Amino acid sequence: MARQDRSKEKQPIGDILRARRVEVLKKGLREMAGILTIAPAHLTDIEKGRRTPSQDLLMRICKAYGIPEADLRSGWSRADVVVAEVATQDSVTAEKVPEFLRTARKLSPKQWDDLIEQARRMQSRKQEK
C-alpha cells in the first residue's frame, strides 16, 4: 500500500473512497458494502461525509480499499486509540502530550523518525536502570 500525502490534497476522504471504489476497484456500492459487511446506505453516508466509521470499520475499509491506515485516520481526523490511552495515562502525560504535539506539529517525516528513534533510546535506557 503506497503512502499518500493527504496534506496537499483538498479532496474529502469520502470522495477519495468513492473514486477508488469506482475507478480502481471497479466495485458498485452494494458490492463494496457487502465486502465491508455494512448496509449500502451506511457506505453512502460515509462517502458523502455524513458518517465516520467505527474503529473496526475503519480497519476493514483500509484492507478492502488498499489505503494506508494513517491516510484514513487523517482523512477522518481519527487518532489511533493508543493516542488517547497515552495522553490520559496519568496527569503528567495529560499535561505534556498536548504541549509536545503542538511543538511537533510541523515536523518532516524524517524528523518524526528521528524523534521516534530518540524516544526508543530513552525508553531502553530507562529499562536498563
Q: Give the pLDDT of residue 5.
A: 47
Predicted TM-score (pTM) of this structure: 0.72
Q: Are 22 and 85 in contact (CB under 8 A)?
A: no
Whether residues 61 and 97 share a domain: the answer is no
How many CB atoms lie under 10 A from the CB of residue 24? 10
Q: Are residues 64 and 26 in the same domain?
A: yes
Each residue's pLDDT tens digit in the chain (129 positions)?
Answer: 444 444 445 789 999 999 999 999 999 999 999 999 999 999 999 999 999 999 999 999 999 999 999 999 999 988 888 888 999 999 999 999 999 999 999 999 999 999 999 999 998 887 776
Asked whether residue 66 is assigned to any structural domain, the reply reads yes
**Structure confidence at residue 80 (pLDDT):** 87
List, as one string, the DSSP characters of 9-21. --S-HHHHHHHII
Residue 16 lies in a domain: yes
Asked if residue 117 and residue 89 are part of one domain, the reply reads yes
Domain boundary among 50, 76, 102: 76
In a domain, 56, yes or no: yes
Model pLDDT, residue 120? 93
What domain range includes position 92?
Answer: 81-128
pLDDT given for residue 81 in this prediction: 86
What pLDDT is attached to residue 129? 67
Q: Return the number of other C-beta atoms located less than 10 Å from residue 118's C-beta.
A: 10
Domain CATH number, residue 40: 1.10.260.40
